[in-house]
Structure 1
């Protein structure tokens, strides 16, 4: 998917702004996510940790929840930002969550405070995925 540079910059700014709201007192690894929906709206999310570690949730899941609550049903692009310098990608669980609302062609962009670092399609990060289309009878 070819995404205009101005939209990528809007996603970057939203994701970095979301990082500022991260609740990450245990790992101190703030993550932000910005999702572009089918209506051209951007939805933000940050990771929210919990003292009972498996009970926390990822930035992508938070952004997906915001999208659904706002009436969005399809993800057109997602930008995930971490603190750097290592490139961050959605975890396996979030890749599957994104698959629920997008197809293999979904653009996933990685960034940090220095800017956009890399991009992939969902198919590259989650090959041979299982999605809603598999459950149509």
Structure 2
């Protein structure tokens, strides 16, 4: 299964009864494993979960700690980027140069990087620590 296929399949399982806007995300780890996530809305906004956060949680559950590539898919007039919170979550496990692919239902629409999406990300170094 490709990164796009996993993100698309994840999107199909999204729970979005309030906005109707379903999003899927897929992460490729450094070892090649793939992890998907979908958005899960909640009537008590903002208690929902983004697709990227779900994919990161699946990765961590499986023991992954390093994101090599991210793909986000949604059906909109413009490519959908991760929200601010998800940008920081991605930066926790990805380098600034990690590719982020933005897709619609037909495929890739744009490419960027984690660093371009979140310049000046808050990092471990801000805590005065260099260890993990």
Provide TM-score, normalisation by structure 1.
0.90
SS for the counterpart of 1:117 is strand
Which residue in the other structure is 1:36 paired with?
28
CA distance in structure 2 between the aligned counterparts of 1:123 and 1:56, rounded to whole angstroms: 25
The runs of 4+ residues in structure 1 deviating greater than 2 Å are 132-135
Which residue in the other structure is 1:79 paired with?
71
- The structural deviation recorded for 1:73 is 0.4
CA distance in structure 2 between the aligned counterparts of 1:120 and 1:133, rounded to whole angstroms: 24
Q: How many residues align?
A: 129
CA distance in structure 2 between the aligned counterparts of 1:78 and 1:127, rounded to whole angstroms: 17
Provide TM-score, normalisation by structure 2.
0.93
CA distance in structure 1 between the aligned counterparts of 2:46 and 2:76, rounded to whole angstroms: 24
**Is residue 112 from structure 1 mapped to residue 108 from structure 2 by the alignment?**
no
Which residue in the other structure is 1:99 paired with?
91
- The structural deviation recorded for 1:122 is 1.1
**Runs of at least 5 residues in structure 2 that lack an aligned partner in the other structure:** none
**Is residue 89 from structure 1 mapped to residue 87 from structure 2 by the alignment?**
no
Describe how 1:1-137 pairs up with structure 2 within 5 A. 10-135=2-127, 136-137=129-130
**Runs of at least 5 residues in structure 1 that lack an aligned partner in the other structure:** 1-8
CA distance in structure 2 between the aligned counterparts of 1:76 and 1:131, rounded to whole angstroms: 18
RMSD across aligned positions (CA) = 1.2
